[in-house]
Amino acid sequence: MEYLPLAIPALIAAFLVYGRWKYGSWTGSFMRSSIRRTIGEIELGRSMGASQALKVHTMKSSGGEADFVGLVIVSKAVLGGSMQGYKLSKAQAQELARYLSQAAQS
């Protein structure tokens, strides 16, 4: 019983490390797929030891699902960081590209 408080964090850590090993990256681990190709990265902002970037990946789905586009916002700071991933179908990615193109031309 005295090891129970350590068992839960150990299981979570094991789950995360297994996902990293299986999918080849932290991004793949969190999105449950492998990165097929990194298309590009845009720096969103930088200030006093912190930065944010938007990364665009083509992702290979596991389990027979259709491949998709992964958008990942990565925030880095001196003592920490975070990552927020979004899955877009190819149709959704094309629609988003149209909206961004229209906004950039306005």
- Give the pLDDT confidence score for residue 75 in this predicted structure: 94
**Mean pLDDT of the region 23-44:** 87
Number of domains in the chain: 1
**Mean pLDDT of the region 54-70:** 87
**Residue 100 pLDDT exceeds 90:** yes
Domain that holds residue 37: 4-105
Confidence of residue 87 (pLDDT cuts 50, 70, 90): very high
* Tokens of residue 50, six digits: 């912190």
d(CA 69, CA 58): 5
d(CA 29, CA 54): 18
Cβ proximity of 32 and 41 under 8 Å: no
**Mean pLDDT of the region 36-48:** 92
Going by C-beta distance under 8 Å and a sequence separation of 6 or more, which residues neighbour residue 49? 77, 78
